[in-house]
Amino acid sequence: MAAAIMRLAILIALNILLLAYLPNRIWEPTDRLLIVTLGVLAIWRYGWWSLHLVRSSVYARLVFPKLRRRAEKAWSHGWRPPLLHFLVTTFRERPEITERVLESIFAECRRSRIPARVFIATGDVSDELVVENYCSDVEPVEAEIVIVRQNQSGKRAAMGLGLRAMSRYGVGPNDIAIFIDGDSILAPGAIERCASLFALNPKLGAVTTDEAAVVNGPRWIGTWCDMRFAQRRIAMQSHSLSRKVLTLTGRLSIFAAPVVTDEQFIRTVEADYLDHWLWGRFRFLSGDDKSTWFSLLSNGYEMLYVPDARVWTIENIGENPWERVQQNLLRWSGNMLRNGSRALALGPRRCGYFVWWCLLDQRLSIWTSLSGLAMALVLSFANTWDAMVAYLVWVLMTRTLVSMILFLYSRRISVLYPFLLYGGQILGSVIKIYLLFRLSKQRWLNRGDQRSNAVGTPLLVWQNAMAAFLTLLYACVFLLLAAFFTGVLRPTAP
């Protein structure tokens, strides 16, 4: 901790030195125009982020503690869900990880003293052998294990088969269903803290929890995960103030059981699709957490984030961490784009006005995150590179300030945060622009490397050419607008 604080002090000192000793060109037309334009963008972007921060604090300090006290009261007076239905999806997972997942599930069953039925949707006999061997030696627990072997590839097919098995066994009106990935470990007390909230509100369809990662890979990947989860805590708490969230995280989400055994819900999970003007109808590979979220959102259910319940996820990065990060960003960005447009189409009354605006802001931020860089590049090519220097100083200063807030939410200090924050924003925006016209392109690297397969036909050649043309067109229009905003180009009267 002392070394981290020292590195942070050096970074802050660097910010001060750059501001103090770089030539002051604020009154020169080029830099003045850039700073004024960046200032307007900053008022919007950081004002919006500050609103999330305030809403997050209100939820965490005022709203949720009241919910927790009411939930604890209901629990202490004997309210319990009659049965817990776990749906665990696993695919050729490491045996030691599967055993830790099962250990955490059984520990929660013992702690809550609620009978459980655990549906384990597997894709390979090796997973089933691990489960059978572990369960044969485990301390007795009131839990029935049901193994469901998938007969089609993909997590969605596994989930659909598991949900149909759950439906056949039957669920009660007050039962709880827990969706958990095969590499996710429940923290002690997670089930009690989540399940008790369903006693308070019949409109509550699902909750999702805090998340933290155990990373087997480079240290910077672990730092990046910690930073992303800190951003997630702020956003989730802000959205929950409107009794909605923007995703029901696939690592761990808890549902009212009758919701997930509805046929429409099951079909959405196992065969969700999108009709696109360029790519036609295509099915989703990943994004099951977005599909479950959209199903509940469109049916008017409330959703909450539970900050005092946690799931630990095991991240085995592999030999190429850069490819893993890139593929994760491609998958997450694609899921957001594919579901954002149809959620916006539901309208603000169904989504809630604030959450609907958050969905719209996700689309706008694709471009606003690149606006400063685009204007600095335009000014630098048109005049001097002083504008780029001023922009980079601005980036370092603002991202350092934002990182100091994120330190509080991640409970750690890292001098890498400002650089990872900015790099993630730029890379994320570039990936989203690329995917904007390629929504059918999908790849799930850590789920058997699933891909969207397409036959090389004349139609596919035309679709790819149109996607490339539209990407180039939008990028050129964006740079043209940046040139007009900075005064590099000025409209002239005929």
Q: What is the CATH number of the domain that holds 125?
A: 3.90.550.10
Burial of 410 per CB tally in 10 Å (0-12, 13-18, 19+): buried
Domain shared by 283 and 176, yes or no: yes
Look at the alpha carbons of 61, 64, 70, 72 in this order and tell me if their dihedral is positive or negative: negative
Domain shared by 89 and 24, yes or no: no
Q: Please give the average pLDDT of every successive group of 10 residues along the chain, which has 494 residues.
A: 82 83 59 68 87 96 97 95 95 90 94 94 89 88 91 86 95 96 93 96 95 90 93 96 92 95 94 88 87 94 96 86 85 89 92 94 92 88 81 89 93 92 93 92 63 70 93 95 82 60
- Domain final position from 321, 344, 375: 321
What's residue 450's pLDDT? Answer: 60
Q: Is residue 347 part of a domain?
A: no
- Burial profile 140-172: b = 16 or more Cβ within 10 angstroms, e = fewer: ebebebbbbebeeebbbbbbbbbbbbbbeeebe
468 DSSP β-pair partners: none
Q: Is residue 342 part of a domain?
A: no
Domain shared by 297 and 173, yes or no: yes
Q: Is residue 327 part of a domain?
A: no
What's residue 328's pLDDT? Answer: 85
What's residue 25's pLDDT? Answer: 56
Q: Three-state secondary structure along 345-396?
A: HCCHHHHCHHHHHHHHHHHHHHHHHHHHHHHHHHHHHHCCCHHHHHHHHHHH
What's residue 492's pLDDT? Answer: 65
119 vs 147: CA distance, rounded Å: 6
Which residue in 461, 469, 477, 467 sits closest to 277, CA to CA?
467
The answer to whether 156 touches 288, Cβ cutoff 8 Å, is yes
191 vs 242: CA distance, rounded Å: 23
Provide the token pair at 423. 């790099």
Domain shared by 251 and 364, yes or no: no
Domain shared by 74 and 191, yes or no: yes
The answer to whether 145 touches 135, Cβ cutoff 8 Å, is yes
Domain shared by 273 and 217, yes or no: yes
Phi, psi of 172 (to 5 degrees): -90, 165
What's residue 28's pLDDT? Answer: 57
Q: Which structural domain, as residue segments, surrounds residue 400?
A: 2-51+360-485
Sheet holding 302-316, edge to edge: 143-149, 116-122, 84-90, 176-181, 252-256, 204-216, 302-316, 184-186
What's residue 59's pLDDT? Answer: 97
Alpha-helical (H) ranges within 437-485 are: 458-485
Domain shared by 294 and 395, yes or no: no
11 vs 227: CA distance, rounded Å: 17
What's residue 34's pLDDT? Answer: 65
- Domain final position from 321, 342, 376: 321
Domain shared by 269 and 397, yes or no: no
Domain shared by 7 and 75, yes or no: no
248 vs 254: CA distance, rounded Å: 9
429 vs 474: CA distance, rounded Å: 13
Split into its structural domains, the chain has a count of 2
Q: Is residue 349 part of a domain?
A: no
Domain shared by 118 and 261, yes or no: yes
Position of tokens 């958990």?
180
pTM of structure: 0.91
Question: Would you give the end-to-end CA distance of the chain in angstroms?
Answer: 64
The answer to whether 382 touches 485, Cβ cutoff 8 Å, is no
What's residue 32's pLDDT? Answer: 63
What's residue 57's pLDDT? Answer: 96
Per DSSP, the residues of 41-108 read HHHHHHHHHHHHHHHHHHIIIIIHHHHHHHHHHHHHTT---S-EEEEEEESS--HHHHHHHHHHHHHH
The answer to whether 241 touches 233, Cβ cutoff 8 Å, is no
- Element (H or E) spanning 291, and its range? helix 288-298
Phi, psi of 326 (to 5 degrees): -60, -45
Domain shared by 241 and 386, yes or no: no
The answer to whether 127 touches 90, Cβ cutoff 8 Å, is yes
Burial of 328 per CB tally in 10 Å (0-12, 13-18, 19+): middle
Q: Is residue 348 part of a domain?
A: no
Q: Is residue 334 part of a domain?
A: no
What's residue 6's pLDDT? Answer: 86
What's residue 173's pLDDT? Answer: 94
Alpha-helical (H) ranges within 170-211 are: 190-195
The residue type at 166: M
- Domain final position from 299, 321, 343: 321
Q: Is residue 115 part of a domain?
A: yes
The residue type at 107: A
488 vs 480: CA distance, rounded Å: 9
Domain shared by 159 and 266, yes or no: yes
Q: Is residue 350 part of a domain?
A: no
CA distances from 117 to 83, 109, 146, 179, 364 (A): 7, 10, 7, 12, 44
